[in-house]
Structure 1
């Protein structure tokens, strides 16, 4: 019979076994190898370690060990002390000592040794192992050590330990708050289900939030509608998540319906719900719902902030409910909240939309300490309505109230220039200088626009050159108008100089002006210049349409430089530009005429595959080009697609197709086109008939007849009838 050992010897045997299998429990001695960490190499017998061991020798208890482990400055020293305690005959570790050592390892990023200790803690089967795992998950989550918390949770589940739902929810919340962690969220949720940890509303909210934030809104709705089956009732946060996601996804109707259900369930929104949902409803122009929520918020004792007030005023102004908007503005003033300048601007725009400019003026006059922006908004509206006399009068009032600035002057100057009234704009500009407001780039840009609108392009160019010398930045709008105007009067070189000035500032003109400049350069034969302009604009991230490339392609074809066309096509595709129908037709016809039929055929087939169907006239022109180059067989299949799509061809072109296909040795395909002609009641001409019938030997003719024996009699009859006029 085996001798029964005292418990202390049993524990000694266990620790000895562990020490043989795990490096972590290697014995502590003076000649031990130093501990290797990620950051440094610290010998285990440091002064701090010796001092701690000396203290613990007098009083080795788990609580004392925990205090020492927490007090040492670095993890390697703590590890050495923990190992030393494991070797002591009269000491036994507890779940608490393990948990503190695991915590030190985890926070230092030593996940490998942390995992070893976690498994050891499970193996020893401490009574408080569950609470230790709970402590570790929550501590790592609180300190944003997400991967460590997830690893502790994973090992707990492998050991079939059941953590409290609150701990799992904390882990879920941390995971959801991080990006690219949705897979981990699902993992935790599934493990909770396996462990029969009943989810509560916080659990499901985390899952719903993760689904919404990863674009799985429909799946989130499934979870939302299934909450009752899980014996959970949605709370304010649940509704906030779903409604906000629906609004962001443009599904405002569904969002409003779920909000109405929230009211039916008497689920009272919290402050966060109001702050998030009211601006979303305002942005979607759901005025009634926004006002109702706004009143509910105040009834609940929650006062809106500046952002929420501003969103509501904007919504009401956009929907021309100006009386309500002004009342809210006054409410803000009563509460001591200073409105944003944009709130005044929205109200002014609302009055101007209704044509109530006088009411807008009265509104501004009644407002104390009104900023300059709403006055400028009213100035712009007056200029747009050609009410310049009133605009100038308003500007005088603004200057008297000391609210006018350079922008206010420029609004009137630009308004006059936009209407072509440069003389009056110059008078205003002179008055501006007299009152110590220096003209800036906006002033000069406006005057250039005015000269262009008056077709005074020479004056506009002169001003442009003056400001370029002063290194003043002119806006792209006025420069674009100048480019178009100079091209109109055939000053192409000067227009190009304006373009180069804009590009040197890192900008590009409008697409329309760029298209005109490129086209006009190609017309005068400067295709190389046009390509240079195109490449510079492309380098400035300008987005093009295929119409910009068309003049260059046409110019290259006219100059017999078709070898460069493939480079232009490559540039188009790099810029994400697709060919339109017109460009396709120009390219295909031009390449055919220059003997590049195979490239032209590839483009034709691609055009048809892209669903672009040319008109009958253009198609016939392309067919003639392929026929002249003896390459109609390369596009025959796609020609059939066009015919099936309903394209109508004249009998003359059909005869040409059949003749060309026969000349290219495509007799079977030619017969298919003949059948198509006959099916529409058209008769081939004598030359086509001779090619189809006269050149076949008897054996081949018999084979062909077998293919069409159902129509043989009809074919013979039609052909015979058709030749009576040629007898």
Structure 2
């Protein structure tokens, strides 16, 4: 979020003192493209200074895509003049829209360019035309050929803004090397460099993952060209470092910047705070915020949004709401992004009612929810399994005139597929297509995943063929879904065939792919094969994660190889991978099944001491071990402990205790547990009925509340 907004200078709203200053601010705001020139490491020709007696005078024109003068008038002039400005801007907007419509096709663009050439139009008209082509995205490549034709015409003098548009095209089309030539031509025309012309160079290098070279430009090359790096130059490099996760380097670069007398602005501070949050350095982020304020740099809405997003990701929603209140108290109005971030955070925590309260508060304050707001709410509802309520939100969204996008539909498709309602999801897809919304890779992946989990592998294969026919190539996610589905069906050989197929097509498996195969092999009892595959995974440069280790630990424990599993755990910890609740649960289960209850008890206590809270699965495993060991009273004590810690027992927990009590002859207590389970809204499953039929006569079963309606009694 911050990285996307961090390129606008904080001084954008202060009136320019001259045309050149306005031009500089435009370059700072827009000009973040790639240029590289005559630097030795770029292996280009040495630059020769060219005299320019016949060169055209350097002209500075208004910005291409934003009229700064109008922006200043809007801020500083009375309301009646503001209305005039709005009318003028509306006229310009209409004119710009008409121009884009004129060049919407390649044929139309060529006709328009020919009209500009004969008679030769002012360079500003060419700039506006090129800019319109860039905005179409599909016709962006025409700019290069048109520029070549323009330079072949006498009396045509491309200016600084022409080159900026060309540089933007290079960035958007990933033609970094071509940009070097444009800079060389720019210098050949006799133009001098300045700080803002380096913004494209720095942005381009950072976008191309060459942040180190960008640093050299700021520390060395700019100075050799007689340019003192500006706050925007530093901002671009710091932003590039943060995007790469090199937050320590970014902080060092901030100190270097300050040592050179360049004062950081709110954009730089916000970028660094965002970077620290993303690295989990929350305390450092707050320290930097306090430092920023102490230096007289006031946080803006982007800074506050960064803080709110970071807290929401940590699930500290209450603190995020406090930041919202502080933000309003200090005179900063939240925007739609602020509210959407809070709604998303609450949705992920399953607190939909609170998310709805934020939505209502947002509307009361005069902010209109957008497609992202509604899609976020729907995602939260779908994750809770409340698909029908999500559908109601969709209807409300359409009623209010908002057009759902593919992300909105994907949320509902994924929710239906996770619930196993594939046919309903397909009906929804047909409706989506009829509204002109095309499926994307995420849509196909959700549907294929749903089919695979439903055991409909053949149907999923047919759907992939349909996906390919529509021009969507299966990616590593699609292949991983198939491999996982086949492994769940114990079709390991077929899964390996899919792996070979994806490799032959140049699609490399990722950690998720390897994890699915290792888990499938372990569940199939092929532990040695799984270890061979682990070694293959490491040799391919993929670092195993806790999911990989958990599959292997579980496989060994199920084979009764507890000592081997424990040795493996020590190796896992030595590599910096910490055990999670799944790791502990698998080991406790193995120990209990091996009759090592005391060892399991010690391991459970060790788990709690390490800050890992047992979940319902962990408790149920241990209770089952105690029941099978005949220690029913201790099992009941652990049930009480589990409930006191806010962990609600499930049907499996109750079934474990019911069969344990029955085996101990404590029939009345077993019946009370059945009643207790039903009173808590838990439906008895087939195992419950099987246990009761094995231990009770039909007349006794009829006394158990609720079961007489569900249990067939002969």
Superposition TM-score tier, normalisation by shorter sequence: 0.3 to 0.5
| TM-score normalised by L of structure 1 | 0.34
Structure with the bigger RCO (C-alpha within 8 Å, sep 6+) is 2
